[in-house]
Structure 1
Amino acid sequence: MEVVGWGWLDAVHPEDRAMVRESWARAAATGRPYEVEYRLRGPRGECRWTAARAAPLRDANGTIREWLGVNTDIDDRKQADRALRDSEARFRILAEAMPHLVWQTDATGEPDYVNSRWQEITGLDLAGLRGGGWLATIHPEDRPGLAAAWARARKAGGDYDADARIRHRDGSFRWYRVKAAPALAANGTIRQWVGTCTDVEERHAAEAQLREALAARERLAREADHRIKNSLQLVAALLRLQAGRVTEPAAREALEAATARVQAVAEAHKALQLSPDFRNIRLSDMFRELAAGAGAQHPGADIRIEAADGLTLDAERAIPLALILSELVTHALRQAEPPRAVQRGGPVYLLARLEAGAMLAEVAGAGLRPAAASSLSETVIRALAKQIGAQLSAESDPDGGSRVILRLAQDAAV
C-alpha cells in the first residue's frame, strides 16, 4: 500500500514528527497495527499528548482496504508521569547531597535504591542489600529487634523509628537512628518506603557517660549512706551502753529513748540501702528494720508488720516517718511492760496501706496509751508529723488498747 498525503503531520509537535512518520510508514508497509504516543497541536496552538491506535481492515483476499484508528488524550497521565520523574530526580539529587545514609524500598520492603554515601560507609551496593542482605550490616545484638520493628511498621503502614549499630566498611560499628516513612499511591496503598540512617554515635556515647556518672554518684551516695548508718549505729550502741550504767530510772529512760531515736534513723538508712533507685524507701523494708531494732531494745516483744512490697515513700518523708513510728512502737512496748502494764499486752502492729487516695501508716497495740501533751515523745511525734504533712489521729480499740494513724497524701507514696 502506498502512503500518500502527509499534511496531517503539520498538527504533530515538530520534535515528534519524524518518529510518527516512520512509525506510520512501517505499519502501512507491514500491515501491522499502528501504536504510537506523541504530542498533537490543538485548535488554539497548544500541544497535548495523545495515544494513536490504528488497525487495517482487509477484504476477503487479505488486501488492506482501509485503516481504522482512534486518538486518546493522555496528557494528564503524561504530565503526572513527568512530575513523578522530576520528583524522583530531585529526590536522587537531594539524597546524594545529604550527609545521611539514604535508602528506598518497594512496597514489600525490598531495597531498590541506596545513595552513594551508604555504599561508601558500609561497602555494600544495592545488590548486596537485597534478599535480606541489609541485616548483615546491623550489629548482631540489634538485628532481632530492628527486623521485628521493621516488620511491624510494614504491616501497620506507619512510620518507623529505631536506633541500631551499623557496621562500617572497616568492620567497626557506629550507632545510627533509622527512620522510614511510607510513600502512598493515589489510591492510598503503599508505593514505596523512604528512609534515612543518621549517625548518633556521639549521642549514645554521651548517654553512656551520663549513665556511668549517675551510677558512680549512686555508688558514692550508697557508700556515704552506709557510713552514716554505721555511725548512727555506733552512737546508738554507745548510748545503750551508757544507759546500762545509769541507775536513776528517769535518766536511764531518757537515754533509752534517745537510743531508740538514733537507732530508728539508722534503720531507715538501712532500708534506703535496699532501695532499687536510692530515692524511695519500700515501707516493708523499713518496717522490718524498725521491728528488728525495737525487738533488740525489748527482748521478747511481739511486733507484727504489714505493708505491700510496692508501697514506697521518698526518703525525705520516710526517715521522719520512721522516727514517728519508732516513738509509737517504743511507747506501746513500754506501756505493756511492768510496772506500767495494767495487763500484759499482746502484739504491737505496724501497718501501712493505701486508702481513699491517701497512704495510712498505723501503730496499734493493747499497751498503746496517749502520751502526755507536754512529753518529749508527744512533741517529737507532732513536730515530725507536721514536717511530712501527715494528719495524726488516734482511735480506741474495744480491748482497751488504741491505734495511732498517720494519713499522708498519696502523691507522697508510690
Structure 2
Amino acid sequence: MAQATPNSITRTQVGIIGAGPAGLFLAHLLHRQGIESVILESRSRAGIEGTIRAGVLEQWVVDLMNRMGLGGRMMREGHFHSGITLRFDHRSHHIDMADLTGGKRVTVYAQHEVIRDLVAARLEEGGGIVFGASDVQPLDIDGTAPRIAFRRTPDGPPEELRCDFIAGCDGFHGPSRPAIPAALRNEFQTVHPFGWLGILTEAPPSHPELIYANHERGFALLSTRSPEVQRLYLQVDPGDDIAHWSDDRIWSELHARLEDRDSWTLTEGPIFQKGIIGMRSFVCEPMRHGRLFIAGDAAHIVPPTGAKGLNLAVADVLVLSRALAAFYRTGSTEGLDGYSATCLRRIWKAERFSWYMTTMLHRNPAESPFEQRIHLAELDYLVQSRAAMTALAENYVGLPMD
C-alpha cells in the first residue's frame, strides 16, 4: 500500500510502538543508558491507565523497579505474598514460596497501576509519548534506516518517525508482528476450551494470599486489589454471555468452588465490574526481523494462571535494552543477533509453567474422567513433595534473569 508523503519527520534512536508494560519499561531502561526513544500509542493516556488488569510481579521485577526509582507507590500500596494456597478436594494446602526459594516472594500490584507509575515518570523526565496515534506502521525494517509512519489523530496529517531500531511492543493485535514476512514467521498457538469470568468487588480481603481452586464445577481464583477491593475469577465457557451471570449466580459459584472443609468463608460485597475473557497460549518465532524487534504480547501470550504475562514483557525488553546499550556503546551486534533466542528460552519455560498450572487446575470438558483424576493426583503429589513444591515456587516467583 502506498504511503502518504509525511508532513513532519521526527528523529530518534529507538522508535517504540505501544505504551504497555513492554514499551514503557523499555523507554525507561534506554533512558538510563542515555539512549533516546519515542513511544507511539494508539490509545489515550486515560485509556491505557483506566484499563483494569490484574498483576502479579515476580521478585526480580520488583527489584528492578526499585533500582530504577519507579517502585515508590508499589512499595506503599502493593501486597507482598510469600505463598499461595492450593485448594482441591475441599481442602487447603499452603505453598510457602519464601521458605522454598530462599526468601523470594511475589507482589500483587495491578498492571494498570504499574502503567500509571511508568507513564507519570516518563512524562516527568521529559520523555516522548504520542497518545492517540493512528495508522501506525513500521517501514523499511530490512534496511539500516527504519521508520514508522503514523498520524497524531485520525484526521491528522501523515508524519514519520525515523530511527535506528523499532521495538514492536503493541500487543497481539498491533501492526508490528505482521510486519515480519509471513513466510519467515513460525506461530505456535492453542486456544483453551474455557475462559475466565472476572469480577471486582467492594469487599475486605477474605484471605491473606491467592487461592487457586480445582473444583468439580470448575476452576476458581481468589486474588486481591486493595484493602477495599478484591478480584475473583470463575472458569466458564468462553462463549458464554455475561448477561447470563447475575451477581447472585456469581457469588453462589464462588462460594461453592472456593470454600473448604475448615469452615473458611468468602466475604461478599457489591460487584462493580464483571466480564468474560477467553484464554490462549501463543508464541511467535523469531522475535526479530531486520531492525524490528517484537516484545511482550506482540510476541507471546500466556494464560493468566501462571501469572507470567507482564513479567515476560519486562524480561524481553530488559534483554533488548542491554543489547541496544552494547550496540551504542561498542558497536557490537552480538546481543541484538541473539535477542530472539535469548528471550524464547525464557518464554517457552513460562509457557510450560502456565500450561502446567492451567491444565492441572481447570476442568477441561474434552477430557475423560481418567484424565481429570490424573490432575487431582498431580495436585495431591505436589502438596506432599517438597521437591515438587520447590519447582512450582521457583517458577512462580520468577526464574533468574542472568
TM-score (norm 2): 0.19
Higher helix share: 1
Q: Which has the higher contact order (CA 8 A, sep 6+)?
A: 2
